[in-house]
Amino acid sequence: MRIAIGVSYDGRGFEGWQSQPSGKTVQDHLEAALGQIAAAPLRVNGAGRTDSGVHALGQVAHFDCDASRPASAWVRGANALLPGAIGVQWAMPISDEFNARFSAIARRYVYLLYVHPVRPSVLAGKAGWYHAPLDLDAMRGAAAMLVGKHDFSAFRSSQCQAKTPVRNLTRCVIHAQGPYLIFEITADAFLHHMVRNLVGCLLYIGKGAHPAAWIGQVLAGRDRKQAAPTICADGLYLAEVRYEDRWKLPEFPRMMPQLDLS
């Protein structure tokens, strides 16, 4: 039997999503908790492999097991065993044809940036921070240049294992909410550190280090060394993984009001 689950987590304190020998990843904790409910070892496969410190509002995963349990057992039972920073939001049986990673048609990330002279104490670890005013118009102009199907080699990390650097970026917009800027980026898939590198370049444009047109030059140059440094993971959230309607996956609760962009 295949079960699909929706997962949210605060990425601080975990070594990313993907299982590690230390056992301190989100995947490791989920497999341990769900394995206890199933009374057998199991493997949890996620839609996206978020890095250490990156959060998720809408991670989707699946696992296979022989145990027959009600959906409430996979949710409440697992949450009773998981660290408080990880929560299974829903669970449902699903066709074996469904794959959390390969059935996904798009992923949406958001990056929350606090722009204020004083660091964000209440949202420490939950938001990036820049201390001075930024040129929002220039940043938005640069963001628009990134939309489309491109070779994003200039925005991938040296550890990226993707077979191709080509991605189709369908949305890249910046919302302003008081002292916050919210970068909303959607693509068919992402390269390692791609979102954080894109936001880092947009930040450089916003602070006046480069004109908006510079990001087009970086994109065309395909050289990571020509781009800005990678921004911190604090403000990055996997907000949504999109699938075809035929899978009828449940909706996630809205847990971060300032990131409610609907």
| b/e burial code for range 102-129 (CB count within 10 A of at least 16 → b) | ebbeebbbbbbbbbeeeebeebeebbbb
E-strand stretches of the chain: 2-9, 45-46, 55-64, 86-94, 106-115, 128-130, 148-151, 166-177, 180-187, 236-242
Strand partners, 172: 185
Structural contact between residues 253 and 90, judged by C-beta atoms closer than 8 angstroms: no
- For 216-241, the three-class secondary structure string (H helix, E strand, C coil) is HHHHHHCCHHHCCCCCCCCCEEEEEE
Per DSSP, the three-state class of 122 is coil
Return the ∠ at Cα 5 (arms to 4 and 10), rounded to 5°: 150
* Closest among 99, 115, 83, 92 to 4, alpha carbons compared: 92
**Which residue of the set 51, 66, 137, 260 is catalytic?**
51
51 labelled catalytic: yes
Listed in sequence order, the residues at least 6 apart from 253 whose beta carbon sits closer than 8 Å to its beta carbon are 89
Asked whether 249 and 3 are in contact (CB, 8 A), the reply is no
- Which residues are the active-site residues? 51
